[in-house]
Amino acid sequence: MSIPILVYTHSEYSFLWKATIPLLQRYASGFTIYWITDSMGEYTLPSDWILRTYEPSTAWSFRILPVLDEFQDKYVIYLQEDWLLIDYLSPERFYIMTQIMDLTDCKFLMSYACPTWMNFTERPVANYKNMAFYRQPRHYFQPAIWKKTLLQEVFATPFGIADCETDRCNIITSKIFCMGVRDSDYPKYYTTTSPLFPHMHAMVTGKWTFKKYPTLKVLLESFGIDTTTRGIDTTWTLEFQ
């Protein structure tokens, strides 16, 4: 089953593209990638990626909505440029995940089961090899497998990007069945061992997450990114790793 990846970004964060683009090219080579931005500037994309540009005055949701009409795939992965892929995506695992989504009528599968919204003493909805699927009462927007029809419903409303994980969006997503998946062998590492999208989330509210991911600074600098221009995040979000 084909699952395209939609990467939404803005030229204001192009300094991260030095890492985002080559990491996706290396670890997601078997996926169709749509790159959605206002401008590429001096950057170029791999020849097999699909570039779509938007007018910055347009609402965030309306910048992405037209792209969903370009393909017939049932599911889609949405993410932004600061979620850095660090291991290979497995087409076999994605196929199994979408089969479980079909069987459970799940329309949103988060790449990791959110620890503050889950009760891990409850039995998973489903298991497959080292993957455990838990019901998730709310969504985190990314990275996740979305049923395209749900994402179209969300983006048909003129949302700003700050609304994507608020009650304004949850009015829509709370009516559907959401799940999160975790690696049963490494239950304490929510994102770097995700069976769906193993990644490091590089920034929180504009600051680096070096305390959350001790190897992130080295990774970024290996791609020529200047890490001295921003502060380091020390907020409660550190508990997610």
Nearest in space to 104 (alpha carbons), one of 134, 80, 79, 76: 134
Record the tokens describing residue 125, joined without a space. Answer: 């909805």
CA atoms of 113 and 43, how far apart (whole Å) = 34
64 C-beta neighbours (distance < 10 Å), count: 22
Beta bridge partners of 205: none
Predicted confidence pLDDT, tens digits, the chain (241 residues): 579 999 999 999 999 999 999 999 999 998 999 999 999 999 999 999 999 999 999 999 999 999 999 999 999 999 999 999 999 998 889 999 999 999 999 999 999 887 665 555 568 899 999 999 998 877 777 899 999 999 999 889 888 888 777 777 777 777 889 999 999 898 788 899 999 999 999 998 899 999 989 999 999 999 999 999 999 998 866 555 5
Alpha-carbon gap, residue 38 to 12, rounded angstroms: 9
Q: Which domain holds residue 167?
A: 5-240
168: domain CATH number is: 3.90.550
Question: In which residue are the tokens 């890492």 written?
Answer: 19
Q: What is the pLDDT of residue 240?
A: 57
pLDDT for 115: 67
Q: What is the pLDDT of residue 85?
A: 97
Parallel/antiparallel/unpaired status of strands 207-208 and 203-204:
antiparallel
- Confidence (pTM): 0.92
Where does 139-236 have alpha helices with state H?
A: 148-155, 167-173, 216-222
Count: domains in the chain: 1
The pLDDT value recorded for residue 238 is 58
